[in-house]
Amino acid sequence: MKRLVGASVPLLAALVAFLFGAVMILALGENPLSGLAAIIDGAFGTGDRLAATAVRAVPLLLVGAGITIAFRANVINIGGEGQIIAGALLSTVVALVIPDTPKVLLIPLVILGGLIGGAIWGAIPGALKAYASVNEILSTIMLNIVAIQLMNYLLRGPMIDPIEVDGSRIPQTERLTDNAALPTLIEGTRLHLGVPIAIVAAIIVYVILWRTPLGFKLRAVGHNPDAARAAGISVERNIVKAMAMSGALSGLAGVTLVFGSESLRMVTDGGSAGFTGSAGFNGIVAALFGALHPLWTIPSSFLFGSLLTGATELQRELQIPNALAIALNGLIVLFVVSSDKVRDWLARRLDSSTGQKVDEPPAPDSTPEATPESVA
Amino acid sequence: MSAPVLQMRNITKTFPGVLANDDVSFDVHAGEVHTLLGENGAGKSTLMKILFGLYQQDSGQILLRGETADITSPTDAIEKRVGMVHQHFMLVPTLTVAENVALGLPSDRGLRTDLDAVSKRILSISEQYGLQVDPDVEIWKLSVGERQRVEIIKALYRDAELLVLDEPTAVLTPQEVDDLFVILRQMTANNTGIIFISHKLHEVMELSDRITVLRNGRVTGDTTPAETSRQQLADMMVGREVKLAPDKPVQDLGLVRLKLRGVTVKGDRGTIAVDNVDLDVHAGEILGIAGVSGNGQRELAETIAGLRPAEGGSVQLDSTDLSKANPKQSRAAGLSYVPEERMKDGAVGEFDVSENLLLINHGDKRFLRRGLFNFDAIRTHCQKMVDDFAVKTPSLTTPTSSLSGGNIQKVIMARELESSPAVLVAAQPTRGVDIGAAEYIHSQLVVQRSNGVAIVMISEDLDEVLGLADRIAVMFEGRIVKIVDRENATKKDLGLAMAGAG
């Protein structure tokens, strides 16, 4: 019973958020039902649109899977944006420096570059937290800003597309080598290699967290650093590892944004969301909605991806600004986060109605990892 | 004799699946201390919650001063002159004693409270019962013992004729326990009836006029200290014959395995907590470290375990120097550590039983197949540990925080002993643990002693130290002030040394 309540609350939260969205559409003088139809049509209407949705979900899933690692180790990584940028920059440098490397070699090298770039950008706040007690929420947010400015500098200066130097000076690289482009999986759609990579990455994160000694240590540190330390687990080192892994996955998201794009270049508009499209934040949302479980984050990312692509159709058909999708995103976060409170409250109500309010042991964790499949 | 202050007749209370109180009858006369004795989960708390109006009994009757009483809430209980001192104090730290006492009371001055009058009455109550406390001081400035006095004053201020004390000595030093008992005797002399809840047998024998023993919700004994013994009480609590002090085979001391020289350690506040301590612990011996909590024992244990760096001195295990070791290195050298605060430092509450059993050696090859956990091997291994240590748990995947304190401690012991350590540091190994589990943990310590492990057992419980240790060191203000062989130790001398007068 309690478990059912636990699972249904996030869905309920999403539903309430959509109701708010419906009210907003009404306020704009349109029919919410046709709005919903437009979103669904835009996200799933054709094979092409479905592929676009999957591609939109890729960075969310990669960032989200990374976030689950950090959050499980009780490190609140808000630095997805910066880590995406760091990964994208380093992988772009790789493609710029050795463009003539054969495809089979260059794609793995580019991916490696992205992983390393993101890992470094994550490990810095991890180390600051572990060894200098610097609050990671602040340091990751600050490093987002540093990364954005670094990107702006590099894309306007050393890495700028040569033909832009005397032109309009759009901050972007030249078109990168086709050898580094993520191959398209279905001809005629945008569905590229990034989609299976992201899904496999989420599965690997799940395996690491619940099937390996490394994940065991990360979770032990996250739940109770004192007991972990007394048992001989290095809290500091595992915090850095969690952040490095989390950053690496965001860096990989950066790779998919560059090498999965149609323009095949790294481009920004000078603003904060210009390059990432806020994937570093939306990925956190997807992870939270997925109950911080890498496998649940797969459908959750797809849902948010569909919201993003659907909003484009909403704008085209009903002239409703696609900012509505962003608002909906925010509302869902708000409701999902507060739904923890609702869930606690519901659980207490269920307890007291059976008269067991004090003598009962604490309710077991209602997040999905408490399923019987995870023995250790 | 007049009618009892309280009669609880044939009280039965069930929770889904649990019979918490089964036909329990219990009474208290004015001017007596009636002890409720029982293990965790025996039904003491349920009975008292019924008395205090927090639960309603399914059947049975409560009579106060001979008249049927229907107690529906704590407020109702207080109006009927029943007072309760909870184990966790219900005081507002930023308010003064007088303000805390006045909280919730109606006032003559309408919305404002006449604190001077309250203070005056507190002083007169203090004088009458020897409860020294300054009414105008804020609660946060008071020691634990003083806070408890405030709780008692709160009850007396409300004219309680019947006072329930739920494990009042659990948080007190031996000296404070003595003070409390003087106060309680003063109260009984003034005709207050007292219900004393405890599982410390020597305290129960010392203080009680009558003793009622509960087990699994039923009354299993109704006796007086004159008619019984600690042994009999323990047997009634557990329902079988209990060994209060384990049989310890005589054996020769082995080589020194743990050697401390001039160890000096700072505490959390930066002051010296452990001051120049020398200790040798031999293979096959239990060295008991006695002392009132807060005299450096915790810091000493943490330093040996590698959790707290020493300011000076050396720690040596066999031939390995551990002075600068981290916990991993200490453990690799053969050290095992059972920490004092089991839920903070000993176990990960959210982890299940098998995960906590693997907290140290989860990276072992035995548990891995191609780098991933081999859950079959883990289950087999953990099931054996659970069986060997008689851990009562519904399953290996039960969250550890939902087990009882004794069973959590068994999980920790099982894990710490699995590696066949050279040295075992066990801090407060049976604190808050019920008798059956304590007996088992003690027997395991003796087994390890026979296996040649050098054991450091830190305990505030002098009975435990006297029952198990081969040698006893007393810590006071960070120093070892006394070290004696068991056969030359007396409770009185140790008590004096613990108070710094040895």
Quote the pLDDT of residue A161: 85
Quote the pLDDT of residue A341: 65
Interchain proximity A359–B15, CB inside 8 Å? yes
Give yes or no for residue B209 having a pLDDT over 50: yes
Quote the pLDDT of residue A200: 98
Between A273 and A245, the higher pLDDT residue: A245
Give the start-to-end residue ranges of the domains of chain A.
Answer: 57-281
Single-letter amino acid code for the residue at B236: M
- Backbone φ and ψ of B14, nearest 5°: -115, 145
- Backbone φ and ψ of B359, nearest 5°: -55, -30
- Rg of chain A over CA atoms, in angstroms? 22
ipTM of the complex: 0.83
Task: Kindly report, residue by residue over B433-462, the tens digit of the pLDDT.
Answer: 888 889 999 999 999 999 999 999 999 888
Most A-contacting residue of B341, B357, B362 (CB-CB within 10 A), to test interface: B362
Interfacial B residues in 48-67 facing A (CB < 8 Å)? 49, 54
Between B251 and A231, the higher pLDDT residue: A231
Torsion angle of C-alpha atoms A184, A188, A190, A194, degrees rounded to 10: -20
Nearest chain A CA: its distance from B452 CA (Å): 23
Say which of B46, B328, B363 has its CB closest to residue A213.
B363
Quote the pLDDT of residue B107: 63
Paired strand residues for B212: B36, B222
- The residue-averaged pLDDT of B150-157 equals 91
Say which of B326, B350, B371 has its CB closest to residue A223.
B350
Quote the pLDDT of residue B219: 93
Interchain proximity B373–A211, CB inside 8 Å? yes
How many CB pairs below 8 Å do chains A and B form together? 101
Most B-contacting residue of A207, A226, A238 (CB-CB within 10 A), to test interface: A226
Q: A216 contacts in B (CB within 8 Å)?
A: 355, 358, 362, 373
Quote the pLDDT of residue A347: 63
Report how far apart, in Å, the C-alpha atoms of B286 and of each of B289, B290, B486 are: 10, 12, 10
How far does Cα B496 stand from its chain's mean position? 22
Quote the pLDDT of residue B476: 92
Q: Determine which of A99-113, B167-181, B185-199 has the lowest per-residue pLDDT on average.
A: B167-181
Nearest to B199 by CA among B12, B45, B50: B45
Interchain proximity A359–B20, CB inside 8 Å? yes
Within B428-492, strands assigned E span: 454-459, 471-476, 479-485
Q: B307 contacts in A (CB within 8 Å)?
A: 229-230
Asked if the C-beta of A72 comes within 8 angstroms of chain B's C-beta atoms, the answer is no
Quote the pLDDT of residue B110: 63
Q: A2 contacts in B (CB within 8 Å)?
A: none
Nearest to A169 by CA among A186, A181, A157, A179: A157
Say which of B345, B372, B401 has its CB closest to residue A230.
B345
Q: CA-nearest residue of chain A to B16?
A: A354
Write out the two tokens for A295. 């496998």
Quote the pLDDT of residue B18: 79
- The residue-averaged pLDDT of B108-119 equals 75
Q: CA-nearest residue of chain B to A364?
A: B399
Q: A209 contacts in B (CB within 8 Å)?
A: none
**Contact of B82 with B49, CB cutoff 8 Å:** no
Interchain proximity B359–A223, CB inside 8 Å? no
Interhelix angle B405-417/B375-388, rounded to 10 degrees, is: 110
Residue ranges of alpha helices (H) inside B104-243 are 115-129, 144-157, 174-189, 201-207, 230-238
Say which of A211, A227, A234 has its CB closest to residue B348.
A227
Within B224-334, strands assigned E span: 256-266, 272-282, 286-290, 312-317, 320-321
Quote the pLDDT of residue A342: 65
Give yes or no for residue B328 having a pLDDT over 60: yes
Task: Kindly report, residue by residue over B79-99, the tens digit of the pLDDT.
Answer: 899 999 987 888 999 999 999
Neighbours of B138 (CB within 10 A): 15
Interchain proximity A232–B327, CB inside 8 Å? yes
Interchain proximity A219–B399, CB inside 8 Å? no
Interfacial B residues in 342-361 facing A (CB < 8 Å)? 344-352, 354-355, 358-360
Asked if the C-beta of B378 comes within 8 angstroms of chain A's C-beta atoms, the answer is yes
Give yes or no for residue A122 having a pLDDT over 90: yes
> What value does the mean pLDDT of chain B take?
90
Torsion angle of C-alpha atoms B181, B185, B190, B194, degrees rounded to 10: 70
d(CA B100, CA B193) in angstroms, rounded, equals 24
Quote the pLDDT of residue A106: 96
Q: State what percent of residues in chain B have pLDDT above 90.
A: 64
Report how far apart, in Å, the C-alpha atoms of B176 and of each of A171, A335, B140, B169, B171 are: 74, 51, 18, 8, 9
Interhelix angle A279-289/A47-72, rounded to 10 degrees, is: 80
Nearest chain B CA: its distance from A226 CA (Å): 5
Write out the two tokens for A325. 């999708």
Most A-contacting residue of B326, B345, B364 (CB-CB within 10 A), to test interface: B345
Give yes or no for residue B408 having a pLDDT over 80: yes
Question: What spatial distance separates the first Cα and last Cα of chain B, rounded to whole Å?
Answer: 46
- Backbone φ and ψ of B222, nearest 5°: -145, 105
Residue A363: DSSP 8-state? P
- Backbone φ and ψ of B263, nearest 5°: -70, 125
Interstrand relation of B471-476 and B286-290 (parallel, antiparallel or unpaired): parallel
Residue A107: DSSP 8-state? H
Interfacial B residues in 279-298 facing A (CB < 8 Å)? none
**Contact of A321 with A334, CB cutoff 8 Å:** no
Question: What residues contact B124, with CB distance under 8 A and at least 6 apart?
Answer: none
**Contact of A197 with A115, CB cutoff 8 Å:** no
Give yes or no for residue B117 having a pLDDT over 80: yes
Nearest to A197 by CA among A303, A83, A65, A341: A65
Write out the two tokens for A63. 């960032």
Residue B54: DSSP 8-state? S
**Contact of B93 with B140, CB cutoff 8 Å:** yes
Interchain proximity B396–A375, CB inside 8 Å? yes
Neighbours of B278 (CB within 10 A): 12
Residue A279: half-sphere exposure toward Cβ, Cα within 13 Å: 33
Quote the pLDDT of residue A369: 36
Report how far apart, in Å, the C-alpha atoms of B395 and of each of A216, B327, B352, B379, B399 are: 20, 30, 9, 10, 9
d(CA A226, CA A242) in angstroms, rounded, equals 17
Q: A206 contacts in B (CB within 8 Å)?
A: none
Question: Is residue A364 very low, low, confident or very high in pLDDT (cuts 50, 70, 90)?
Answer: very low
Quote the pLDDT of residue A35: 83
Give yes or no for residue B2 having a pLDDT over 70: no
Neighbours of A105 (CB within 10 A): 11
Residue B346: DSSP 8-state? I
Q: A226 contacts in B (CB within 8 Å)?
A: 344-345
d(CA B184, CA A328) in angstroms, rounded, equals 64
Kindly list the strands in the beta sheet with B210-215, ordered across the sheet, starting from the edge strand earlier in the chain.
Answer: B82-85, B162-166, B193-198, B33-37, B210-215, B218-223
Question: What residues contact B455, with CB distance under 8 A and at least 6 apart?
Answer: B281, B285, B286, B287, B423, B424, B425, B426, B445, B448, B449
Task: Kindly report, residue by residue over A157-176, the tens digit of the pLDDT.
Answer: 888 888 877 777 888 999 99
Question: Is residue A272 very low, low, confident or very high in pLDDT (cuts 50, 70, 90)?
Answer: low
**Looking at chain B, how many residues does it have?**
502
- Rg of chain B over CA atoms, in angstroms? 25
Quote the pLDDT of residue B115: 83
Q: CA-nearest residue of chain B to A206?
A: B372
Between A368 and A69, the higher pLDDT residue: A69
Q: A212 contacts in B (CB within 8 Å)?
A: 371-373
Asked if the C-beta of B110 comes within 8 angstroms of chain A's C-beta atoms, the answer is no
> What value does the mean pLDDT of chain A take?
85
Based on the number of CB atoms within 10 Å of its own CB, is B289 exposed (0-12), middle (13-18) or buried (19 or more)?
buried
Give yes or no for residue A373 having a pLDDT over 70: no
Residue B146: half-sphere exposure toward Cβ, Cα within 13 Å: 14
Paired strand residues for B455: B286, B424
Nearest chain B CA: its distance from A38 CA (Å): 44
Q: CA-nearest residue of chain B to A221?
A: B348
Torsion over CA: A15, A17, A18, A20 (sign): positive
Task: Kindly report, residue by residue over A308-338, the tens digit of the pLDDT.
Answer: 888 888 888 888 887 777 787 778 777 776 7
**Contact of A120 with A205, CB cutoff 8 Å:** no
Query: Could you give the domains of chain B?
Result: 6-238 (3.40.50.300), 256-498 (3.40.50.300)
